[in-house]
Chains A and B, each alone.
Chain A
């Protein structure tokens, strides 16, 4: 199969989504600030949306359902970003830092 016909194959999108998911996991594990972890979680959400849209295009009988689901994912992700950022700002006010290693009040 030609490399120029890759956009007609489901596996291309699945592999791309897996790669984005892996990058998100890597960022989530290695980042040491809350904002960096939020950026990584946005990558994971984008990967899941690509998976939904790919299955919607290639295997779903009704292609509106996946698009609607992706729109709902976008709405929830926007809400998550707003809440996460306000929590980050509140944490910064209290601790004067957003480094995850400084937030040790709940350490056991």
Chain B
């Protein structure tokens, strides 16, 4: 696909126009899911919003020419991380004891100010910078990813597997400690 910006307007009922429409729907899904995830009163609804947000993010990866990463997003985030978080809610967060809303009267405005400043800074930076358009040397196919993972990035690949092994063992040890209490 051509990485340059397409300037002519596609009609709604052409292939490009429908792709653009689905893209807008997926962006809305991501934003709504993120809003639910960061502001829902109950944590279970927050996790459901997080799953919706991750589904939208997977669709956005698909639009960025990366169907493999989109599939891994669905598998790892929607399938594993959200389920793990809901396990933790069931094990360790009793819903009836306290509300999970903002802590204190100042937290909401302060959080809005922090988030607004960070977002504003990033938006201004993104809009003011002009990024160069370069020539692609390949298309980033799954085959190329596999070759790169086992040649150029093989050291990082092995280190990440060790990190995952240690994380699993550490999680088991930490969660098992004091189980008899």
Residue numbers of A with Cβ under 8 A of B are: 1-27, 29-33, 35-36, 38-40, 42-43, 46, 49-50, 53-65, 67-68, 70-72, 74-83, 85-94, 97-101
Contacts of B137 in A (CB 8 A): 61-62
Instruction: Give me the 5 closest cross-chain CB pairs, A-B, nearest first.
Output: A63-B140, A4-B20, A22-B119, A27-B38, A2-B9
Chain B interface secondary structure, helix, strand, loop or mixed? helix
Report yes or no: B170 in contact with A83, Cβ–Cβ below 8 A.
yes
Taking residues whose C-beta sits less than 8 angstroms from the other chain, chain B's interface range is 35 or more
Report B81-96 CB contacts with A as 1/0, cut-off 8 Å: 1001101110111000
Residue numbers of B with Cβ under 8 A of A are: 3, 5-10, 12, 16-17, 19-21, 23-24, 27, 30-31, 34-35, 37-39, 43, 46-47, 50, 53-54, 57, 60-61, 63-66, 68-69, 72-73, 76-77, 80-81, 84-85, 87-89, 91-93, 97-98, 100-103, 107-108, 110-112, 114-116, 118-119, 122-123, 126-127, 131-140, 144-145, 148-149, 153, 156, 160, 163-164, 167-168, 170-172, 174-175, 177-179, 181
Name 16 extra pairs, CB < 8 A, besides A46-B57, A55-B131, A92-B92: A12-B27, A18-B118, A18-B123, A24-B34, A31-B38, A32-B98, A32-B102, A39-B37, A39-B47, A53-B64, A64-B140, A64-B144, A67-B145, A71-B69, A77-B81, A79-B168
A32-B37 contact in complex given A19-B119, A53-B64, A72-B156, C-beta closer than 8 Å? no
Chain A interface secondary structure, helix, strand, loop or mixed? helix
B159 CB, min distance to chain A CBs, angstroms: 9
A31 CB, min distance to chain B CBs, angstroms: 7
A60–B81 CA distance with the chains assembled, in angstroms: 29
- Write the chain A residue with the least CB distance to B50: A39
- Write the chain A residue with the least CB distance to B34: A23
Contacts of B134 in A (CB 8 A): 59-61
B59 CB, min distance to chain A CBs, angstroms: 10
Report yes or no: B100 in contact with A31, Cβ–Cβ below 8 A.
yes
CB < 8 Å: which of B69, B72, B115 contacts A22? B115
Report yes or no: A18 in contact with B148, Cβ–Cβ below 8 A.
no
CB < 8 Å: which of B72, B115, B144 contacts A74? B72
Contacts of B53 in A (CB 8 A): 20, 43, 46
- Write the chain B residue with the least CB distance to A92: B92
- Write the chain A residue with the least CB distance to B14: A4
